[in-house]
Amino acid sequence: MGQIQDQVLVIFGASGDLTYRKLIPALFDLFMQDLLPRNFTILGVSRTEFTDATFRDKMNDGIRQFAYFKNPSKEKLTVFDEKLHYLAIETKEASEYVKLQHKLKKIDHDHQTGGNYLFYLSTPPALYGLIPQFLAKFGLNKGHNGFPRLIIEKPFGEDVYSAFQLNKLLLEFFKEEQIYRIDHYLGKETVQNVLVTRFANGIYEPLWNRNYIDRVEITAAESLGVEGRGGYYDHAGALRDMVQNHLLQLVALVAMEPPTEISAGAIRNEKMKVFQSLRPLKEHDLFNSVIRGQYMSSNIRGGHFKGYREEVGVDPMSRTETYVALKFFIDNWRWGGVPFYIRTGKRMPTRVSEIVIHFKPTPHKLFVSNPDFWTMGNQLVLRIHPDEGILLKTGMKVPGAGFEVKTVNMDFHYKDLQETYVPGAYERLLLDGMMGDATLYTRGDGLEAAWCFVQPILDFWKHNPNAPLYGYPAGTWGPDCADKLIGGEKQTWRYPCKNLADDGIYCEL
């Protein structure tokens, strides 16, 4: 790992939930592993009035709840607290940034942070265009002695037009190599392992193409509903919230060509080629290959679950999708003719994200006694969470007379790696941002290309408000017709369970 320069991390939106639940706990975990630079200060900025002391109290509470090292000694916490500072400003007012300019000068002087600033925008998206502009007004976008960098949270735009516009605006004040667009899925250890599985093992890559792969399936299911974010979610929906970013990033990692090296440029170039090869969805596809759903109230597992339209902040007549499933193709030599299926939904039976590679069955069916095995073929499951790991479903002879074949599991679980610390997504991304490594961040052009792919779906729904929106009872796997997308009774989605090695509609959730 490279040397990390001394710096100040400026978090805009410091009074918000993300700072409390994710950013500060992740920074504390880095601190506990001795991974922070020697001279390092965190400056929380937002409108809410805090003193350094009250900000520290609140952040300590977040650490105790959400950090991995949640029971630190008082001494450790005190040393970390000394790095935490706070500045209240009206972030919408350009003139207020003079206070930030002075504060940063003082921090540089008092803590020898070298004029290196990492600005983290964890604010409402309406400020993403303003803050960089105001930073520029006070010269904080220019490195005089040190570097300025900018990390931007999602959502990056609400459609293709606003995403292009935001990119354009950011580039007026910062260079592309200074802009770090977050997609927290890329910070997940298991997502990075997709690259290692593919490119560190000689056995997979020769099979990783249209000759051997029948279809690719990606699921990101959540058991929770919108959890107090109804106001935001009702304007976003599952397509913007999960597909445009997280799921298309997973598609890119599964489908990309081997990069020439592990570097931000090489990896992001290959991902970009995948986005450019996504076959645009035409009218026929929009009718037949996109399924949207919305969860309805239900009584399951002894509990009552509200329907989406009853959630706080949600329009009681809302037609926002809480579930979406898509079938599409990647038009290039590797993937010609191979369907990709992706789905995501809230209030599903369990929280699970995984990639399933379905291999084609053998060309000649020698062992005829188990037809089910032949329709299924081998599957490689890359589990992102929970029960992180990899599973290969393979055929084995049932001991005894004849040649009966059954499917068995070859599985690896991260939890078996005893004493290996698996860093959280924000921990990894913050560390990379501090080091200036953008490999796990999205590049402007890739993000725009992903928006270009989903925009026809948004337009279609907008102009055809009566396009089907299927209800599904909270706690189920979404609309039944999503199975038809794959092929009906013989082929369906994998219905994953909490445990990687189990599947089927009925299992421990």
Residues contacting ligand BG6: total by CB under 6 A: 5
State the burial class of residue 342 (Cβ atoms within 10 Å of its Cβ: 0-12, 13-18, 19+): buried
Within a 13 Å sphere around the CA of 331, how many CA atoms are in the beta-carbon half? 6
Contact status, residue 170 vs residue 179, Cβ threshold 8 Å: yes
Q: Tell me how many degrees the CA angle 13-18-20 measures, rounded to the nearest 5.
A: 90
Per-residue contact flags (x/-) with ligand BG6 for residues 207 to 236, judged by CB under 6 A:
-------------x-x--------------
Site for ligand BG6 in 142-181 (CB under 6 A): 154
SS3 content of the chain, % helix, strand, coil (to 5): 40, 20, 40
Contact status, residue 456 vs residue 26, Cβ threshold 8 Å: no
Q: How far apart are CA 41 and CA 85, in angstroms?
A: 7
Closer to ligand BG6 at the Cβ: 113 or 318?
318
Among residues 193, 289, 353, 442, which is the contact residue for ligand BG6, using CB under 6 A? 353
At closest approach, how far in Å is the CB of 238 from ligand BG6? 8
Q: How far apart are CA 411 and CA 174, in angstroms?
A: 45
**Interaction of residue 379 with ligand BG6, rule CB under 6 A:** no
At closest approach, how far in Å is the CB of 357 from ligand BG6? 20
Query: CA separation (Å) from 50 to 47, 181, 303, 465?
Result: 9, 28, 40, 45
Residue nearest ligand BG6, Cβ-based: 241
Strand partners, 10: 43, 119
At closest approach, how far in Å is the CB of 400 from ligand BG6? 43
Residue 395: both structure tokens together: 């055929």
Task: Return the active site residues.
Answer: 246
Per-residue contact flags (x/-) with ligand BG6 for residues 240 to 269, judged by CB under 6 A:
-x----------------------------
Find out whether 494 is annotated in a ligand binding site.
no
At closest approach, how far in Å is the CB of 311 from ligand BG6? 13
Find out whether 273 is annotated in a ligand binding site.
no
At closest approach, how far in Å is the CB of 316 from ligand BG6? 21
Closer to ligand BG6 at the Cβ: 185 or 341?
185
Closer to ligand BG6 at the Cβ: 83 or 154?
154
Total Cβ atoms within 10 A of residue 261: 8
Closer to ligand BG6 at the Cβ: 128 or 134?
128
Phi, psi of 223 (to 5 degrees): -85, -20
Find out whether 508 is annotated in a ligand binding site.
no
- Mark the binding-site residues, compressed into ranges: 47, 154, 184, 188, 222, 241, 346
Per CB under 6 A, residues contacting ligand BG6 are 154, 220, 222, 241, 353
